[in-house]
Structure 1
Amino acid sequence: MLEIETLLKSYFSNNMMYDYVIVGGGVAGLYLTTKLRNKQVLLIEEHKNLGPRRCSGLISDRINKFFDLPKSIIEKEIYKAQLCCGEASAQINLNSVVLDKEKFETYLLRQAEKNVEVKSERVVKVSDDYHGVVVTTSQGVYRTKYVIGCDGANSLVRKTFLDEDPKKFFFGKFCYSNEKPSDEYKVFFDSKYSDLFAWTAPRRNKVEYGMICEKNLTNNYDTFMRAKNPKDVSEDYFGVIPTGLCKCSFPKGILVGNSAGMTKPLTGGGVIYSLIAGKIAARELNKDEPDFRNYEKKCVETFGKEISRQLLARRIYSKLSDHRKQKLISSVKRDRLSIDMDFPMADIFKDKKMRILKSFFGR
């Protein structure tokens, strides 16, 4: 028996049974760590200096409900966006900020380190056993009662415990140009650029050029960049965006953020949904006996319906000609809309915004 016990101790990197191991140190994982109380928690993130830059930093000002962010993290405040397709254009009102994503995640990491143990290791395997979950990394093996998958589009936790993926996968690519920024965010819906949209976005001392699409990313991106001809550009950044909420709970844990497709099908943004899900998750995880199915239920109730509506709108949008898009933009121009960036479909169903829906559906 003593030999078996010695072998087990040498097999595991320490003799601790964690309450939770969080796989992935992006926004979802980092924020969740700050909300957990009186639990033994290990956060494992592959990249020592956080993950690669995979998304733009344009986020609604709803983020202020979650953080009192230092001014150094906020590159710019944006209050309007110009929607464009061919010769048609319309301005909508936004309440948004552009974050320095690296500084933002570093800020979250510092908060996380005050509350949980953090290790920079690559997770290579996750498996369950009679006592809980075994997480194997490039440097060790850890035991936990439950595992939390915050490990993004290609989630190992999701692949291990759930036979379901998010409904769709989009692809994004962007770069920075060292030119003087304006105060306006421009969105281009021309089909020659993307089957979703392309954009130019002001940042602190530069302009961001990018696009998100479902197909032909490389060709579309090259077409867009040739048309806009930005000067003195940085390297390109690339990301995969899963969308369409999939099952996000299982007996040994949950998924939070991109790993469960918690993003907006119309824009690809997911930071706010990740934060909302993190707050919902923390309420369950802080209990002595967490109910993971209740976590999933609350996520579906809070933003699942919005995601479903956006998926439907996305399917309809994909069939629109540029001419129809221009008519839609003209309708927007007449109504001078203000849009909730995080819940646009719920917002657009209200009051006079129903006219936009009629135009969108071709009536």
Structure 2
Amino acid sequence: MKIYDVAVIGGGPAGLSAATSASRFNADTILFEEHGSIGLPWHCAGVVSSRMIRYLNLGGSEKTILSSFDTVDVYLSLRYVFSIRSSIPQLVLDRAAFDRFLADRASSYGVKLILRSRVRSLNYADGNLIDISTDGSSYKCRIAILAEGLPGVLARSLGFNLRKLTMLPSIQYLVHVAPNLDMGIVEVHLLQGLSPPFFAWVIPIDKGVCRVGLASYRSTQLKPFIEAFLSRRFNSWRMISKSRWLIPIGGPLDRTVKGHVILVGDVAGQAKPTTGGGIISSIACGMIAGSIAGSASVEDEYSILDQYESLWRSFFDFKFKIQKIARKAVDRMRWTILSSMVESISDMNREFRVVDLDTQIDLISKLISSPRIVFTILKSLLKL
């Protein structure tokens, strides 16, 4: 039986980036994707920073961009409160096309893509090799990179502690609405009834077409909640398609490497605790994971796998920690406190200017750098 240097489980941005990087290090790389098409079913709102796309050297992905924006309008119970304006444009991606772009890129570097292949189990065999069992087939590899997403069945089976991951059910509709929406403005709606305090989003795609989504622990209420919101927000709307997925908002795992197995993407908690967004961090961490795994397998020196832990954290750990503090603070708030705080902030400032919306550290810094806003936030927190 052929032995692959690196096997990647999961054909999303994290897995495809990991496989590409491993193959660029001359590792014989295979990737398993359980669905029949890369990019489907589509998940996430698909918003990324134009600066980060350039930084990650993803030239050619421009053809997957549907629209761009630089402003987010924030609403409190459907009433406008303030805007956040970004100096760096944010991009709305066609996620299916973007994932296919990454898949074509991986194939061009020699990655073997196996579609319609669900990995059922991974087990260590003799000589520190890993046995991979799919529906009807078996494979062997030296290093496995799990980019399986949530709920992380394989990661749990290998002993990774995923209890730290906070998985928030979400729903998103692609809808056709009356073509009078300002196509340059993305909306964030703070709504009473979402648990924990989260938000709904409205992202214009084309004339009269937008993505609308929200998240809540009350998974059985997601459909009636989003449809009630749509009916309140728009005079008329028609669903084109819908998707559901789990959003990780608990921050990264304490450990993302174990033996010859590396975790990357949502299953590693490498997403923003504030919003659950993780396209950029997943791609970046995938690149790091693939580079480390490719180098380790080619050099037959597996002790360097632990370098993945420190490398990806050097880029993202601080940001995730700050965002998790913000997430925990908001989670503790009753709706009356949260809405009062947002209204008070709005009274002081109707527009916040940031460098890049994707980082969110900019916005948090703006909020805590104002003594009046800090006083308002503290006063609100003391009422908890």
**TM-score scaled to structure 1, two decimals?**
0.88
CA deviation after TM superposition for structure 1 residue 340, in Å: 3.2
- In structure 2, the CA distance between the partners of 1:154 and 1:41, relative to structure 1 (3 Å rule), is same
* Bigger shift: residues 314-323 or 120-129: 314-323
* Bigger shift: residues 95-104 or 62-71: 62-71
The equivalent residue for 1:27 is 13
**CA deviation profile, 1:101-124 (whole Å, cap 9, x unmatched):** 011011111111122111111111
Indicate whether 1:345 and 2:337 are aligned: no
Residue ranges of structure 2 left out of the alignment (5+ in a row) = none
The equivalent residue for 1:296 is 309
Residue ranges of structure 1 left out of the alignment (5+ in a row) = 1-14
2:231 partner SS: helix
The equivalent residue for 1:186 is 187
**Alignment partner for residue 169 of structure 1, among 154, 167, 177?**
167
- In structure 2, the CA distance between the partners of 1:97 and 1:359, relative to structure 1 (3 Å rule), is farther
CA deviation after TM superposition for structure 1 residue 213, in Å: 2.7
- In structure 2, the CA distance between the partners of 1:332 and 1:20, relative to structure 1 (3 Å rule), is farther
The equivalent residue for 2:252 is 245
* Bigger shift: residues 279-288 or 258-267: 279-288
* CA RMSD after TM alignment: 2.2
2:354 partner SS: coil
* Distance in 1 separating the partners of 2:238 and 2:224: 21
The equivalent residue for 2:121 is 125
Alpha carbons 1:167, 1:242 under 8 Å: kept: yes
| Aligned partner letter, 1:158 | A
The equivalent residue for 1:316 is 329
Alpha carbons 2:367, 2:374 under 8 Å: kept: no
**Alignment partner for residue 214 of structure 1, among 199, 207, 217?**
217
The equivalent residue for 1:90 is 82
- In structure 2, the CA distance between the partners of 1:113 and 1:361, relative to structure 1 (3 Å rule), is farther
* Bigger shift: residues 187-196 or 305-314: 187-196
* Bigger shift: residues 262-271 or 160-169: 160-169
The equivalent residue for 2:43 is 54
1:341 partner SS: coil
* Distance in 2 separating the partners of 1:346 and 1:299: 21
* Distance in 2 separating the partners of 1:155 and 1:300: 20
Indicate whether 1:305 and 2:318 are aligned: yes
* Distance in 2 separating the partners of 1:242 and 1:147: 22
CA deviation after TM superposition for structure 1 residue 128, in Å: 1.3
- In structure 2, the CA distance between the partners of 1:199 and 1:264, relative to structure 1 (3 Å rule), is same
* Distance in 2 separating the partners of 1:123 and 1:55: 23
Task: Identify which of structures 1 and 2 has the higher relative contact order when contacts are C-alpha pairs closer than 8 Å and 6+ apart.
Answer: 2
Total equivalences in the alignment: 348
**TM-score scaled to structure 2, two decimals?**
0.84
| Aligned partner letter, 2:106 | A
1:349 partner SS: helix
Alpha carbons 1:328, 1:359 under 8 Å: kept: yes
- In structure 2, the CA distance between the partners of 1:348 and 1:39, relative to structure 1 (3 Å rule), is same
1:178 partner SS: strand
CA deviation after TM superposition for structure 1 residue 309, in Å: 1.9
1:262 partner SS: coil
**Alignment partner for residue 276 of structure 1, among 257, 271, 284?**
284
Equivalent residue runs for 1:189-208 within 5 Å: 189-192=190-193, 195-205=197-207, 206-208=209-211
Alpha carbons 2:10, 2:34 under 8 Å: kept: yes
Indicate whether 1:233 and 2:239 are aligned: yes
| Aligned partner letter, 1:65 | Y
| Aligned partner letter, 1:327 | S
* Distance in 2 separating the partners of 1:98 and 1:308: 26
**CA deviation profile, 1:238-261 (whole Å, cap 9, x unmatched):** 111123101211011200101111
CA deviation after TM superposition for structure 1 residue 163, in Å: 3.5
* Distance in 2 separating the partners of 1:71 and 1:343: 21
Alpha carbons 2:20, 2:290 under 8 Å: kept: no
Alpha carbons 2:69, 2:91 under 8 Å: kept: yes
**CA deviation profile, 1:304-355 (whole Å, cap 9, x unmatched):** 2221221221121121431222223444526x32153333236633697444
1:241 partner SS: strand
* Bigger shift: residues 253-262 or 279-288: 279-288
CA deviation after TM superposition for structure 1 residue 199, in Å: 1.4
**Alignment partner for residue 342 of structure 2, among 308, 325, 328?**
325
| Aligned partner letter, 1:213 | S
CA deviation after TM superposition for structure 1 residue 233, in Å: 1.8
- In structure 2, the CA distance between the partners of 1:118 and 1:348, relative to structure 1 (3 Å rule), is same
* Distance in 1 separating the partners of 2:123 and 2:248: 23
| Aligned partner letter, 2:33 | E
Q: Percent identity?
A: 22
**CA deviation profile, 1:106-153 (whole Å, cap 9, x unmatched):** 111111112211111111111112321111001300011111000001
- In structure 2, the CA distance between the partners of 1:361 and 1:264, relative to structure 1 (3 Å rule), is farther
Alpha carbons 1:30, 1:108 under 8 Å: kept: yes
**Alignment partner for residue 110 of structure 1, among 94, 104, 120?**
104
- In structure 2, the CA distance between the partners of 1:177 and 1:44, relative to structure 1 (3 Å rule), is same
| Aligned partner letter, 2:324 | L
| Aligned partner letter, 2:212 | Y
1:232 partner SS: strand
* Distance in 1 separating the partners of 2:232 and 2:378: 30
CA deviation after TM superposition for structure 1 residue 178, in Å: 2.1
